[in-house]
Amino acid sequence: MQPKDRIVVALDVETPAQALSLVEQLCGLVGMFKIGKQLFTAAGPDIVRQVIGRGEKVFLDLKFHDIPNTVAAAGVEAARLGVSIFNVHSLGGSAMMRATVDAINDAAEREKLIKPLILAVTILTSHDQASLTELGIERSIPEQVVHLARLASAAGINGVVASPQEISPLRQAIDNPSFVILTPGVRPTGAALNDQKRVMTPGEAVKTGADYLVIGRPITSAGDPAAAAQKICEEIEQAVA
């Protein structure tokens, strides 16, 4: 994979116009754009179609969590939109994840769709040990993350969304090099942390075993987003050289 193909830019903006302006500035310089709950709720599936219509790839970050039939059907709609990646919550359970994988396989075959990668969210990084205990989860966070990633892998899910600290334990626990790890919490050398607490640089994250890096504000809030993206590509290139 080229360094630029690893970069997924988070389009955490309010309007389709802001999103499309970033896409115009960054097209050809990054691999994918992440559309999450904010932009999707404001602008609907049309913004997904518009970004894909410009020849770009989309990661639809809606973290589906519902009964198996509902998540599977939503996943099929994501595939019909043409997204390259979408995600589900592993806490929805094995049956939900398996139903989604099966539904995507069937729809891809039947409707000649390109199969998106399906990733699982394990434990949100906003949780700490106390908030897990409150939910009745007794394992430590790292153990629970690995446990849920194993469930996801066994259900046929392609990979996980994982914080930088989780990359190494996951690579050790899951004996499948094509298991995809997508990592937010990435900050280029010298960039503002914003509200991210435990970060890695893009180069460190890739060297540790991340496939894709979700990067938002260091690119989208930069005076020159294209230059910021190019600098991150160079940083990755140097780190892996």
Positions that interact with ligand C5P (CB under 6 A): 10, 12, 36, 125, 161, 163, 184-185, 194, 196, 214-218
Nearer to ligand C5P, 69 or 194 (CB): 194
d(CA 137, CA 90): 14
Residue 237 token pair? 């290139």
Taking the least distance from each CB to ligand C5P, the nearer of 203 and 218 is: 218
Give me the least distance between CB of 105 and ligand C5P, in Å please: 27
C-alpha to C-alpha distance for 224 and 237, rounded to whole angstroms: 20
Q: How far is the CB of 168 from ligand C5P (least distance, A)?
A: 16
Q: Which is nearer to ligand C5P, 36 or 92 (CB)?
A: 36
Encoded tokens for 182: 């997508």
Question: What is the nearest approach in angstroms of ligand C5P to the Cβ of residue 10?
Answer: 4
Query: Which residue is at the shortest CB distance from ligand C5P?
Result: 216
**Which of 4, 57, 63, 231 does the annotation list as catalytic?**
63
CB 185 → ligand C5P: shortest distance, Å? 5
Of 68 and 204, the one with the shorter C-beta distance to ligand C5P is: 204
Handedness of CA 58, 3, 183, 187 (dihedral sign): negative
- Told to judge if 63 belongs to the known catalytic residues of this protein, a careful annotator would answer yes
Degrees (nearest 5) of the Cα angle 166, 169, 173? 130
Catalytic residue IDs: 63
